[in-house]
Structure 1
Amino acid sequence: MREKMEENDKARLGQATQHRLLSVAYWRFSVNMSLTVLDMTMLIVASATVLALRHETDIYSFRFGIPMDLSAYLLICAVLWAVCLHGVGVYHRHVMGDGYQLNALLIKGAVIAVMVTCAFDFIMRIGMSLTAIVLSFVFGLLLTMVERFFMRLLITQGRRKGRYSYSTVVVGSQEGITRALAFLGQKQQLNYRPVAVCPIRLDPATGLVEADTNIEGLDKQINDVLGLSIPIMTYGDDFAEHAVSLHAQTVMVTDVMQRFSDNFNTFALRAESMNLEIALVTSAADVSGHETQVRVIQGTTVMTICLPQYSPAAMLQKRVFDIVVSALAIVISSPIMVLVAIAIKLEDHGPALYTQERIGLRGKPFKIHKFRSMYVDADAKLAEVAAVNGQELGACVKIKNDPRVTKVGRFIRKTSLDELPQFFDSFIGTMSVVGPRPQRQFEVDGYDQVYATRLLVKPGITGPWQVSGRNDLSEAESRQLDVGYVQSWSVMGDIVYIFRTVGTMINPSGAY
């Protein structure tokens, strides 16, 4: 019954995530497409009027010795105009509703567009006068400003009704939440729409963030500021999943969690791995390894941070990469896998493959497959062998000269051939080609909040631990490598790890 309820919860979470991403993609695409078409139209109207008044409608390309159709020339100029506006950030979701930033960026885009158009005319050797080009973009700029004024009215009006905005969960102290809600109510140009709040505080004994349960009167404060009531969430490890179930796209942190702290870093990783944007209302903030954007809105600095590798597009790239690499590896290594399986079978007549439950993405158990490198009853003797070597079961059990390892097993471990069947796990999606090594439940139970972030990515066949010394690394070094990978992985970086793995197989170290 419990497993069925968990499956239903995961299904609802997946549906909420899909709905959230599709709704955001739809309105962003539709709004930006509409603005792009209107901006191009404004320039075409302005340019056609200027050229008609100046009697410069006959356009000829001396480069190719052919006349150019006026409509085609105006369309090319309009496309260059839209590209330049995009380059300066005019179509950013926050800018589209902010007249102050928008007009400044439009002017900047117009200057660049004039230079680009002059370059195009020079390359094509079109005899358009500089005066005509400048006047076209000046009047095009003015028309675009007018058009954007009315579009801004429509956008801000739509945001009041919940459209064209990012559903936001506000996290912080009760005072910080109230200030943030008041700020968002005054800044209509920002597309943050509060859908829930999550009061938190620091535990003075441990220094860790915990839920603030003393929230008497908070609902009234929210109602006084917003004019309506919104849900009050209870902070916990499932915060990101709960936020997604509310169709939130952004988490706004007001205070309590300090930048560069373990509290904030682990919180940000959990949220961003669910493709939630982190926004901080602060005078200065920074998180190393994250992309940051800073905007000053009427004297208030807003910084947004994100890990781009957790975007849907990046995650799709990694999945495709895993499928392609796993398929190639399976085909290429098939003869080797057959030979290894035969060698294992001949040594002690036991099964060639070894299956064990490991903990994968977000703490979900899965079955890992390896070539068996230990005797059949090895798992039952782990605690005994660890005790003999003066170790306890935990996150980093490292036993040199483990008596449970077979002769064939010692060789395939040193050369990493025992990991080859895991390409099937990567192919079906329970693992990734590159990532932190998968561990067992008792090891996961020993994680602190920082090290637990390694569960935010799929475990890998190879990764930073495998190519950096393996069991010769200290516990602190191993943890730093895994957490660092979670924050900075990329497909190109994964390719580098694969090449480094080949080198490790040729010159193995730390494998036992």
Structure 2
Amino acid sequence: MLNDYRAHQLSRVQQWRFFLNLALLLCDCAMFLIGSASGLLLFRHVGRASFIASPMFGVTVYLLVGACVWAVCLRHAGVYHRHVMGDGYQLVPMIIKAACVSWVTLCAVNYIFVVSLPLPTVTMMIVFSCLLTILERMAARAVITRDRRKGAYTYSTIVVGSPDGIAHTLKFLADRTQLNYNPVAICPIRETADGKVVSATLSEAELERLSHVWDVTDLPVVAYDARLGETAVRMKAQTVMVADVLRRDSDNFAAFSLGLESLGLEISLLTSAADIAGHQLTMRTLKGVNILTISLPQYGIATRISKRLFDILVSAILIVLTSPFMIGVAIAIKLDDHGPILYKQERIGLRGKPFKIYKFRSMRVNADKLDAQVAAASGQELGARFKVKDDPRVTKVGHFIRKTSLDELPQFFNSFLGTMSIVGPRPQRQYEVDEYDEVYATRLLVKPGITGPWQVSGRNDLSEEESRQLDVAYVQNWSILGDVIYIFRTIGVVLNPKGAY
């Protein structure tokens, strides 16, 4: 009876996921057909006899084949995953990645089937298709987000963990509705001295903390026992999210997960930014012993050389393109208070090595010597998160160049010389580095960057935990294509600054 009821629930979830993804798939293919046809018309190749040298392809068949390639590449990039379809930050980079793969695939199709289509035409077809798909997904995201507020396209979720862990998870889910988890109950637990996991009672203080992030009166408290899976099914939950306490390598978790997965329930875990799940995992059996090896492919020699060449090329181009702006800023600073144009400061770079960073001066001369005094006046401690919103040391010109990020332009020379990269975690001072824990210190394993996850995700408006997660995630997941995406996102932030002061 219970299994039949659960099977009915799963069929309903699979039904809306199928039809939602089918609608998105058809829209994506339509965008490819429109974009490709526009590209072909632009280069006036549709009517030429030389367009198709292979008897297997007419224009219509070729576009339909291209639409199939486009859909497969989008799926391979992960754009149809339910966590992504409502997330604008992840979706655009994935579409661009799929566009690059589609371009290579179409070129291969043209070569194999002798399709006489010039390379610029193929490129324009993919560019148009990519832009139209991004616009189409922006519209779809607005519709999906609207419907999710009404309860559609969501996974009913029971949150399991310590009271503090539950509070953290509820806040996390409230801030990231694009993940489409809808909490319907909480299951507070604790671990006893002998390692046994039992249900926990919520104190008044813990209920108060929960009420700040979620209306806990709408969330029933369920017991942690052998019937938790049955309780979840009866509550029409699809997911049980583990906040903490239960460790993946423990016997407690093994018994817990088997009981839930046997009913077709999904288990989600919140892990730290440094979790090895994102690494390349290889299992080998040697003389009856299983050996698991982990690695990050982007730290190979070839990829590192590619990143260095990328930094040299991009910084050289940007130095040339931004030179008029740099000259204008230099003149404005000099006219403002007749002080030095450039400001240099010691920062900590790759593997803890100090270097000199260059910026256009935005504060009064010798302002850095007043850090402790300004921090005390603003009621802050001098440390990694020290930042004053209305710093009295900032000059008139300084306010403008900070808001527009023009003060960072001289760092292109840092990137060209190799002390910095175009993209990476922001370099910090020694007293800030001294506060790192062992996880956050991993940000020193890559060169600091001019732009990066911190700059395009809210800058000074981010919490300390969010900033740390972004930096550590970059260290684990960076790629050349990802760096290109960060550069384009930085342009958007410069045009619409948020959290810059």
TM-score interval, smaller chain: 0.5 to 0.7
1:45 aligns with 2:6: no
Q: Quickly say closer, same or farther: Cα 1:132–1:196, change in 2 above 3 A.
A: same
- Is 1:99 aligned to 2:88, yes or no? yes
Matches within 5 A, 1:405-420: none
The answer as to whether partners of 1:198 and 1:233 remain within 8 angstroms in 2 is yes
Counterpart code for 1:31: L
| C-alpha contact 1:60 1:68 (8 A) present in aligned 2 | no
Q: Are residues 1:274 and 2:263 paired?
A: yes
Match of 1:255 in 2: 244
> How does 1:333-412 map onto structure 2 within 5 Å?
none
In 1: Cα distance, 2:26 partner to 2:49 partner: 26
Out of 217, 221, 225, the residue aligned to residue 232 of structure 1 is 221
* Equivalent in 107, 115, 128 of residue 104 of structure 2: 115
* TM-score using structure 1 length: 0.52
Shift of 1:44: 0.6
In structure 2, the residue matched to 1:463 is: none
Q: Following the alignment from structure 1 to structure 2, what is the Cα–Cα distance between the partners of residues 215 and 276?
A: 29
8 Å contact kept, 2:162–2:244: yes
Q: Rate the CA distance shift 1:231–1:63 in 2: closer, same or farther, 3 A.
A: same
In 1, are the aligned partners of 2:33 and 2:67 still within 8 Å (CA)?
Answer: yes
CA shift, 1:66, in A, is: 2.8
Deviation of 1:92 after TM superposition, in Å, equals 1.0
One-letter amino acid matched to 2:122: I
Which of 79, 87, 102 is the matching residue for 1:90? 79
1:76 aligns with 2:65: yes
How many angstroms does 1:107 deviate by?
A: 0.8
Distance 1:67 1:233, change over 3 A: closer
Partner in structure 1 of residue 196 of structure 2 = 208
Could you tell me whether the CA contact under 8 Å between 1:80 and 1:113 is conserved in 2?
yes
Question: Post-superposition shift, 1:164?
Answer: 1.1
Does the aligned pair in 1 maintain the 2:166–2:188 contact within 8 Å? Answer: yes
Aligned equivalents of 1:263, 1:128: Cα separation in 2: 60
Q: Give the number of aligned pairs.
A: 286
Matched position secondary structure for 1:95: coil
Tell me the percent identity.
42
Who wins on radius of gyration, i.e. which is larger? Answer: 1
The alpha carbon displacement at 1:241 in A equals: 1.5
- State how far apart, in whole Å, the 2-side matches of 1:85 and 1:254 are: 31
**Distance across 2 between alignment mates of 1:270 and 1:60:** 64
Counterpart CA distance in 1 for 2:11 and 2:211 is 30
Cα offsets for 1:246-292 (capped at 9, x unmatched): 11111111111123111122212222222222211120557999xxx
Give the superposed CA RMSD.
2.9
Separation (CA, whole Å) in 1 of partners of 2:259 and 2:34: 49
Change (3 A) 1:100 1:214: closer
Superposition map of 1:49-68 within 5 A: 49-58=38-47, 66=55, 68=57
1:23 and 2:16 are equivalent in the alignment: no
Q: 1:264 aligns with which of 237, 242, 253?
A: 253
**Residue identity opposite 1:236 in structure 2:** D
Pairwise CA distance, 1:26: 1.0
Q: CA deviation at 1:203?
A: 2.1
- Uncovered stretches (5+) of structure 1, i.e. residues with no partner: 1-10, 290-295, 304-512
For the Cα contact (< 8 Å) 2:52–2:58, is it kept in 1? no
Q: For residue 364 of structure 1, what is the aligned residue in structure 2?
A: none
- Where 1:236 maps in the other structure, the secondary structure is coil
SS at match of 1:231: coil
For 1:150, the equivalent position in structure 2 comes to 139
Whether contact under 8 Å (2:188, 2:202) holds in the other structure is no
Matched, 1:186 2:164: no
Instruction: Report if aligned partners of 2:243, 2:270 keep a CA contact under 8 Å in 1.
Output: yes
Cα deviation for residue 76 of structure 1 reads: 1.0
